[in-house]
Structure 1
């Protein structure tokens, strides 16, 4: 996965840097090792060849990894950044991820973990255009980290995998990552969505169907709850024969009910669930929803609304509180509509959620206007202080308890 990749390593520690350089070169990567922020800034801005990824320590002798990344953001879109941080710097690393960095690992770490995360970032798989807009990771929440750990575990194993999750939770992206990180990555990745197939038997088991074309690769079957009983029986028989490929399947959260009703074969279910990866809905991971908003904005805004300067704090709060029944695809769809509708310098909640607009003869009362302005000002202060209520209270020149009471009244979440 790393062969002939060009990696920039920004690390001032001689032992750490030397170990990473040696291992990356053993993996076939071409590595430029830099030990100062100022040298890294120039090398990344004017590279001798396209950079596939940057591995960057947070602490540097003449600055910080954060300063390096944010400086690059002012004039360009940097290559994928994988940050190395100590336990005390996790908050800083998460903040950088929200700003557009790709991933982070915490010290101490196993080199295999870093290589796996790096491989995720530089994977060259072909994706549908819509999927290509989505970032390579699941998010910044604890739940997202758990999913990533399960992806790595599944990639190392050879057992069949079942991915559970509602609409738009990225089940197809997870399946692709499992394949790309596995030792089957050079073999085909064949994807079949049974919800879109008129003849599931032909698509899976017919001549030149998925089972015939996958070889030693990965066969991803989405919406397996749509599989007819006779196809389930044929598929189970096929698995009982010599099948050299690997199955990754996906379903919603209703498969147990289908088994209880007798419409899904329990034996087949147990064959498919040697490893299970549950994906919580986006509304249960509000920090991931906001993170995904910014990730998609950075990709879509330059193409669809280059005049925009950014996203308003009120939009962040609206995204955090939305139920997102359609998952990430719903968010992407709303963002595209919002970019088309936006008229001001910042993306506003009314751009993302036009159904909340008041009618032409309606107008907010003076009290409602004051409340909305106060809420926006508090959200901006919390955003500037990265959610630190005490620091935000100092900026607003009010007592911490007063700010907390106002946040509770206005429905603003905080740390």
Structure 2
């Protein structure tokens, strides 16, 4: 069998992952890998395996008989240059697509082996029956005969397979079926090329309602029914695998996709990276739009489960009546319309990660069932009685205050502690505004590609306007605003006028008239406003003291002296 010759551009983490997975596929030959960094993990691993390495990916493009080149750098300029110079006989594949395909292949290896086993069993059944069996495709080309065929007719398998039934036995039952598409019973004839006189039963072979060929059985048709039953079982297995493969996904982002240099964000990333090394449950907290799903993807991508499924469930988007069947699946006949069993999200996520988004919106009954899965790692499908065991890593996220929901009796305390093994609170954009420049640069590059624009940056006045806004919708709102601005503008620089036109509904806070008050009252009001804005944590108070231009110690002293006040801030 001819091996598929593959080259990899990029020896970083993505290239290393692709290299490692391809090494496990015996039908693939890795002919080379390139990276400008000689110490890149993929380059080091390739050298250990005796695979050719190079700093210039152009050398890979000239390799003879190259079937596939996988680009893992993610750099548009690299991808474009490869597309310009690649041979027409060579396919270009991005790393994410390659990872997804390889992951699915590995995940389903055992099921595919099961299909192979069923095929072997079917072949053994066909060879064990006493009646002769012959199969031809829709064009009449004979594809299969069993051992009994040779015994009954005296024609060997080698001499029969490859002939055309319309030439070998034009008056036989099999030829009649292929011509008419109708069943044939008790057809008496001689087998072409043989003196054997037989009574034949023949039937068409239909796949998804389309006739693909026919089968003939000499003498009795009884055993054909058993064969068709085995074929039906094989079809059921294939359909089940098809349904499962269609729902399996993998993570799309890594920690490299989380942009920002603020201390708050770095602490979150550091904690998330540590949690990724274990299988412990992670609870992601934070306002809407802060990037909780991005963190979940990154944790899975950096974990030992990264080659296995990453399944996302939005608990708020699925009706409560359907949420249980989405989680655990249902058995055939569980309710009206359940004509076949369905695999649930937890079963799909076996050996991988399940991300439960908006966990705070789950009803109490399902919370109890989820708690059992987390404790025992087993469940039953809706309407079923078979216990299914799974190995799943759980990451949950919410923008709601779970502790307050517990006090209100809307969230189970035992489930909270089961989920809250590692708690990561992702900071809102308003407390990490120093990350705005890198976020803006990334958004402009991405949106230029999406919208076909050539925006180069943001003016100083527009940038100040962005800094002065509190961004209640966080990074998601920032992306929305910038995209709306870029869609409507023709300039290369986003200016204050462009921005003002799209932010009219977001009223930036202005100074408001207040009654004359004492200096002490004004100072107290400013301190309260600063703490409210930056938070009551140690880091929030540090930022508040910087904004007020006083020392942290002075801020603490003034807070201690403050008394309750009715002054609104």
* TM-score normalised per structure 1: 0.59
Q: Where do 1:215-226 residues align within 5 Å?
A: 215-226=350-361
- Residue number in structure 2 paired with 1:328: 475
Q: 188, 197, 213: which is aligned to 2:348?
A: 213
Q: Where do 1:386-397 residues align within 5 Å?
A: none
Q: Deviations over 1:3-50 (max 9, x none)?
A: 456552447xxxxx59995467559997545xxxxxxxxx58998577
Gap change, CA 1:45 and 1:277, over 3 Å in 2: farther
- Residue number in structure 2 paired with 1:344: 491
Gap change, CA 1:332 and 1:27, over 3 Å in 2: farther
Gap change, CA 1:345 and 1:20, over 3 Å in 2: closer
- Residue number in structure 2 paired with 1:247: 394
Q: 397, 400, 411: which is aligned to 1:264?
A: 411
**Quick one: distance in 2 between partners of 1:281 and 1:135?**
19
Gap change, CA 1:44 and 1:216, over 3 Å in 2: closer
Larger helix proportion, structure 1 or 2? Answer: 1
Q: 240, 255, 259: which is aligned to 1:138?
A: 259
Q: Where do 1:16-415 residues align within 5 Å?
A: 22=44, 25=47, 32=54, 43=56, 48=61, 52-53=72-73, 77=77, 136-199=257-320, 200-207=323-330, 208-242=343-377, 243-354=390-501
Displacement of 1:320 in angstroms is 2.4
Contact map agreement 2:484 2:502 (CA 8 A) in 1: no
Q: Which has the larger radius of gyration?
A: 2
Displacement of 1:270 in angstroms is 0.7
Displacement of 1:193 in angstroms is 0.7
**Quick one: distance in 1 between partners of 2:48 and 2:296?**
28
Q: Deviations over 1:214-268 (max 9, x none)?
A: 1111010001110101011111122232341110000114111101212111111
Q: Deviations over 1:297-317 (max 9, x none)?
A: 101123325243432222222
Contact map agreement 2:349 2:392 (CA 8 A) in 1: yes
**Quick one: distance in 1 between partners of 2:324 and 2:358?**
14
Displacement of 1:135 in angstroms is 6.9
Gaps of 5+ in 2: 1-13, 20-32, 62-68, 80-94, 101-247, 331-342, 378-389, 506-548, 550-569
**Quick one: distance in 2 between partners of 1:45 and 1:300?**
29
Aligned length in residues: 281
Gap change, CA 1:237 and 1:292, over 3 Å in 2: same
Q: Which region of structure 1 is more displaced relative to structure 2, 217-226 or 347-356?
A: 347-356
Gap change, CA 1:357 and 1:264, over 3 Å in 2: closer
